């Protein structure tokens, strides 16, 4: 019996190795022509998780430690009135995003780890507020995941709006892979969809399902730390951390199950297998997966004409290998990978600004602007 068990383990590891080899056929390469420069525009940041632009061209930047920075005319000012942040492990102050109609309504949305609740520990929350000078006012807690836990893993979290004005945000499965992601009656390991005021849309997929968390839009996720609206199609795209191998890019669809941890292209950090399948009926396949893992962070589409050679490409930060990855797509299939900013540091976030330039947040350094050479 022991020999059979050992043989099964060897076969599973070999299967994972085959998955690695298949996906590794597309290698991440250094750029052949370096036709851009990088300008450090916001220096001296530690872990700049989220960033968003205001109408006057200034930026709001979240530091994971719990600070919101208002960067305007070269000056950094701390925003007052930030709620209490539960800083533990991967948890802290996370993403930040202005409302699509910010010019008229002034709403700013952000996700953070919160200890509010009856249990010890914390979990991911979503809040909106307005900015009066440099003070957050009219704060409204829109969602708080539960239960709290002292685990430090997998808080998520990113925010995106779709073309209809619905708000999407991600929460990781908090290290409870066998409990949370496949259970729609529990928070965590999910992508959520709300109206901009925090109410649940009546057409969310699990409205009317007994005991379900009705804010859930999709489930079976591990730890989505990248999310962006595809400006060409309006779809919501995410990337998420796998275990050892199996980081994924997914296009989020209503009510779909993305498989974690039943199916995966990764293995345990110890090198052992936790599943023997990479596909199953009723579970979505990723658009793309990485083996080995790159530890993906922020994610952006290039839609402006400022970078003509990159238009339509996807940019993804790599925390593990410390570069910005450019993914060239053809018919929703990755055909080329390129390393940008290699060796600069852990890329935490990347966004396309309102004027079309790409901004990259790098831990321990700050925010860089990518400027094409003339």
Structure tokens at 298: 């922020």
CA–centroid distance for 283 within its chain: 20
Classify 40 as helix, strand or coil. strand
For residues 274 and 12, the answer to whether their CB atoms sit within 8 Å is no
154 part of the active site: yes
pLDDT tens by residue, the chain, 374 residues: 444 444 333 344 343 334 333 344 688 887 767 788 999 999 999 999 999 999 999 999 999 999 999 999 999 999 999 999 999 999 999 999 999 999 999 999 999 999 999 999 999 999 999 999 999 999 999 999 999 999 999 999 999 999 999 999 999 999 999 999 999 999 999 999 999 999 999 999 999 999 999 999 999 999 999 999 999 999 999 999 999 999 999 999 999 999 999 999 999 888 899 999 999 999 999 999 999 999 999 999 999 999 999 999 999 999 999 999 999 999 999 999 999 999 999 999 999 999 999 999 999 999 999 999 87
**Per-residue pLDDT at 22:** 37
**Per-residue pLDDT at 41:** 97
Domain assignments of the chain as residue spans, ordered by start: 2-372
For residues 269 and 243, the answer to whether their CB atoms sit within 8 Å is yes
Which of 22-29's residues contact partners 24+ apart within 8 Å by CB, and which partners?
A: 23/265, 23/289, 23/290, 23/291, 24/291, 24/292, 26/334, 26/335, 26/336, 26/337, 27/337, 28/294, 28/323, 28/325, 28/337, 28/338, 28/339, 29/336, 29/337, 29/338, 29/339
Between CA 91 and CA 294 the distance in angstroms is: 20
Between CA 224 and CA 252 the distance in angstroms is: 11
**Per-residue pLDDT at 25:** 63
For residues 33 and 340, the answer to whether their CB atoms sit within 8 Å is no
SS3 content of the chain, % helix, strand, coil (to 5): 5, 40, 50
Between CA 255 and CA 60 the distance in angstroms is: 33
Q: Which helix (H) or strand (E) holds 160?
A: strand 159-161
Between CA 280 and CA 12 the distance in angstroms is: 16
148: nearest Cα among 128, 174, 126, 171: 174
Quote the pTM value.
0.92
First-residue to last-residue Cα distance in the chain: 68
367: nearest Cα among 343, 353, 354, 350: 350
From the list 5, 70, 99, 154, the catalytic residue is 154
User: Please, what CATH class does the domain formed by 2-372 belong to?
Assistant: mainly beta
Strands 75-78 and 123-132: unpaired
50: nearest Cα among 169, 150, 135: 169
Backbone phi, psi, residue 360, to 5°: -125, 125
């Amino acid at each position: 019996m022991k020999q059979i068990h050992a043989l099964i383990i060897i076969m599973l590891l070999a299967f994972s190795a085959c998955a690695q080899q298949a996906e590794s056929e597309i290698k991440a390469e250094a750029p052949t022509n370096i036709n851009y420069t990088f300008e450090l525009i916001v220096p001296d940041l530690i872990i700049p998780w989220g960033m968003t632009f205001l109408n006057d061209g200034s930026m709001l930047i979240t530091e994971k430690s719990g600070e919101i920075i208002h960067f305007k005319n070269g000056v950094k000012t701390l925003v007052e009135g930030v709620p209490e942040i539960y800083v533990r492990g991967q948890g802290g102050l996370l993403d930040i995003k202005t409302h699509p109609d910010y010019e008229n309504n002034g709403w700013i949305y952000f996700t953070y780890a919160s200890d509010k609740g009856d249990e010890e520990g914390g979990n991911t929350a979503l809040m909106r507020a307005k900015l009066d000078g440099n003070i957050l006012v009219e704060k409204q807690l829109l969602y708080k995941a539960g239960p709290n836990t002292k685990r430090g893993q997998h808080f998520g979290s990113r925010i995106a709006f779709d073309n209809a004005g619905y708000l999407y945000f991600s929460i990781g499965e908090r290290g409870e892979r066998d409990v949370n992601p496949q259970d729609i009656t529990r928070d965590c390991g999910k992508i959520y969809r709300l109206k901009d005021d925090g109410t649940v849309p009546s057409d969310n997929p699990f409205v009317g399902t007994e005991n379900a968390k009705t804010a859930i839009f999709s489930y079976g996720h591990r730890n989505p730390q990248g999310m962006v609206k595809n400006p060409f199609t309006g779809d919501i795209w995410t990337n998420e951390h796998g275990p050892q191998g199996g980081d994924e890019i997914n296009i989020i669809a209503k009510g779909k199950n993305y498989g974690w941890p039943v199916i995966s292209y990764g293995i345990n950090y110890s090198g052992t297998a936790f599943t023997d399948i990479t596909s199953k009926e009723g579970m979505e396949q990723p658009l793309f997966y990485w083996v080995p893992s790159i530890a993906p962070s922020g994610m952006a589409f290039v839609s402006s004409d400022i970078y003509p050679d990159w238009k339509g490409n996807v940019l993804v930060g790599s925390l593990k290998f410390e570069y910005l990855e450019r993914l060239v797509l053809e018919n929703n299939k990755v055909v080329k990978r390129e390393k940008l900013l290699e060796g600069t540091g852990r890329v935490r976030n990347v966004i396309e600004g309102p004027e079309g330039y790409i901004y990259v947040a790098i831990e321990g350094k700050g925010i860089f602007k990518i400027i094409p050479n003339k």
